[in-house]
Amino acid sequence: MSTTNILKHLANLEKHLAEEHPDNPVLTRAVHSFRKLDGVAQALGLLDLNESYATYVTWWPMIAVLGTFSSGKSTFINSYLNLPLQRTGNQAVDDKFTVICYSRHDEVKTLPGVALDADPRFPFYQISQNIDEIAEAGPQRIDAYIQLKTCPSEKIRGKILIDSPGFDADSQRTSTLRITQHIIDLSDLVLVFFDARHPEPGAMKDTLEYLVASTINRPDANKFLYILNQIDVTAKEDNPEEVISAWQRSLAQGGLLAGRFYRIYDKNAATPIENPQIRERFEQKREEDLTDITARMQQIEIERSYRIAAMLEQTASNIENQTIGKLEATIDQWRSQVFTLDGILIGLLTVLAGVGLTVTESWHLAKECIVGISNGGVLPIMAVVLLFGVIGYIHFAVRKTAARNILKQIPKEFGHDHNAARQFSRAFSKSTAGYRPIFLTGPAGWNMTNRRILAEVKEEANDYIQMLNDQFTDPSGHKEPELESEQKPLAAEQA
């Protein structure tokens, strides 16, 4: 995407949000704040001129459905949409991520993954550039990983629902894990499904590790709902509660000591429960949990606004409090290496030059050079220029080599966050470019103006949250102004 295209995209995004939410200006204003944040990041080298943090978030509310094989994810989605949209079965029936969105057309349409990769409104925009297996084979390779489905269900209007392939950490491809992490980061709500028909969760240690242990320390851990599906199969057990307890213990071993644990099943595919008392208890619990789950799914539009405002503030804070500090430390490390290697190589060059003069008995030549300089001789001056040229060449070669060695280590420090590693590497390269004097201590682009802009963005993000609170909450219990104005004429008439 060129610079012109990214600006056009942001303008269209502002227009779309203004039309979609005329009574809620927060999202439209947030796009303007993202523009300011982009300017700072581009000055630092974190973003290219054709990039924007606004494309790193999904502006539509997003629900992700993850889980193990045959855990009933697709059945749950079909029931929620009241449409036979996704294939179901006891075995793995789909190995792609399916993005589901609303369409006013009556028929269901399935579109290739490239439709998502090329559209900045969707959560998979340009993901093909970040996955090696896809990038090497070409953009069409994205079709092997993701697809887009449209449907006329009103339940999905204004939202995005993502159905994931069955999760099996032992055999999962690296690219699939990266897409899963990408989805988790962007989602407003994550439903994690487990299959109650496999009552030995201890055998799924790796899966639990990835789906549970890796999420509990996240600041947005409350967006995860853990669902034990097809719980009806436990009704025939002598002690069905023991099955549930076994799952809860396994989740606790994975680190999940808090949060909601839901128990549901699909009525149409349920195993008949003959005992009326047990059946009533199971159905009551199912209805309670399904009501809670669907309520959370319905309210994510509000959560979307808070998420974007929070992401704006968090990104600005991370740049100021984490990225800049890490850049300064890495630049200091690079500078120290350069000075050390400069000293070693230039010292070695001096020693070799001295040895050469001794061996060739050229002391008289050196003396003549010194005399020549005082007399304005050309040859000695050229010799001095050549000497400084050699020293300069050594210095810049050392700078480049030291920077290259540090760049190789950066991806390891960021782990699975490849995008953050890429941004940091770019900023570090800009700060260590050959045209920048080595004695400059701060990162390139870090100045008082950009400090002030980041402070403005954080203040604006807090203002957006305050606006949302004013819209959705009323701790004082005061009546709305419109209601008060309507009541005054009525009171006057009664008088």
In the predicted structure, residue 494 carries a pLDDT above the cut 60: no
Say if strands 97-102 and 189-195 run parallel, antiparallel, or are unpaired. unpaired
Integer distance in angstroms from the first to the last C-alpha of the chain? 67
Say if strands 160-163 and 62-67 run parallel, antiparallel, or are unpaired. parallel
pLDDT of residue 406: 93
Q: Which residues contact 46 (CB under 8 A, 6 or more apart)?
A: 319, 323, 423, 424, 426, 427
Say if strands 189-195 and 160-163 run parallel, antiparallel, or are unpaired. unpaired
Beta strands in 36-159 (DSSP E): 62-67, 97-102, 109-112, 146-151
Report the alpha-carbon distance of residue 42 to residue 380 in Å, rounded. 47
pLDDT of residue 37: 96
pLDDT of residue 79: 87
Q: pTM for the full model?
A: 0.68
In the predicted structure, residue 5 carries a pLDDT above the cut 50: yes
Domain boundaries, the chain: 1-56+309-471, 60-298
Which span out of 282-286, 378-382, 413-417, 490-494 was modeled with the highest average pLDDT? 282-286
Report the alpha-carbon distance of residue 423 to residue 40 in Å, rounded. 13
Report the alpha-carbon distance of residue 161 to residue 97 in Å, rounded. 10
Residue tagged 């005329």 (tokens):
22
**With bands split at pLDDT 50, 70 and 90, how would you rate the model's confidence at 459?**
very high
**Which one has a higher pLDDT value, 335 or 474?**
335
In the predicted structure, residue 23 carries a pLDDT above the cut 90: no
In the predicted structure, residue 454 carries a pLDDT above the cut 90: yes
In the predicted structure, residue 376 carries a pLDDT above the cut 60: no
The token pair that represents 225 in the structure block = 């709902």
Could you give the 3-state DSSP secondary structure of residue 398?
helix
Of the candidates 181, 262, 264, 266, the one whose C-alpha atom is nearest the C-alpha of residue 218 is 181
pLDDT of residue 131: 60
CATH topology of domain 60-298: Rossmann fold (3.40.50)
Report the alpha-carbon distance of residue 157 to residue 103 in Å, rounded. 8
**Could you give the percent of the chain with pLDDT greater than 70?**
72
Beta strands in 446-494 (DSSP E): none
The per-residue pLDDT for range 292-308, each reduced to its tens digit, is 999 999 888 888 888 88
Strand partners, 226: 192, 261
In single-letter form, the type of residue at position 211 comes to L
The per-residue pLDDT for range 166-221, each reduced to its tens digit, is 765 444 456 677 788 778 888 889 998 888 776 555 545 555 566 666 666 676 77
Could you give the 3-state DSSP secondary structure of residue 471?
helix
Say if strands 97-102 and 160-163 run parallel, antiparallel, or are unpaired. antiparallel
pLDDT of residue 380: 59
Q: Which residues contact 215 (CB under 8 A, 6 or more apart)?
A: 184, 190, 221, 224
Report the alpha-carbon distance of residue 201 to residue 248 in Å, rounded. 9
pLDDT of residue 408: 92
Return the H-helix or E-strand segment holding 176.
helix 174-186
103-117, 308-322, 419-433, 453-467: which has the minimum mean pLDDT?
A: 103-117
Of the candidates 52, 68, 273, 16, the one whose C-alpha atom is nearest the C-alpha of residue 180 is 68
Which span out of 92-101, 137-146, 378-387, 460-469 was modeled with the highest average pLDDT? 460-469
Q: How many CB atoms lie within 10 A of CB 150?
A: 19
Taking a C-beta distance cutoff of 8 angstroms, is the pair 63, 73 a contact? no
**Which one has a higher pLDDT value, 119 or 202?**
119
DSSP line for 269-331: GPPP---HHHHHHHHHHHHHHHHHHHHHHHTHHHHHHHHHHHHHHHHHHHIIIIIHHHHHHHH
In single-letter form, the type of residue at position 205 comes to K
Strand partners, 195: 229
17-31, 445-459, 467-481: which has the minimum mean pLDDT?
A: 467-481
Of the candidates 327, 429, 418, the one whose C-alpha atom is nearest the C-alpha of residue 45 is 429
Report the alpha-carbon distance of residue 51 to residue 7 in Å, rounded. 9
Q: What is the mean pLDDT of residues 409-427?
A: 86
Of the candidates 129, 118, 124, 115, the one whose C-alpha atom is nearest the C-alpha of residue 48 is 129
pLDDT of residue 405: 92
Q: What is the mean pLDDT of residues 284-289?
A: 90
The per-residue pLDDT for range 64-91, each reduced to its tens digit, is 998 877 788 888 998 899 888 877 755 5
64-73, 115-124, 251-260, 424-433: which has the minimum mean pLDDT?
A: 251-260
**With bands split at pLDDT 50, 70 and 90, how would you rate the model's confidence at 455?**
very high
In the predicted structure, residue 483 carries a pLDDT above the cut 50: no
In the predicted structure, residue 493 carries a pLDDT above the cut 50: no
Q: What is the mean pLDDT of residues 125-149?
A: 66
Of the candidates 217, 145, 140, the one whose C-alpha atom is nearest the C-alpha of residue 178 is 145
pLDDT of residue 159: 86
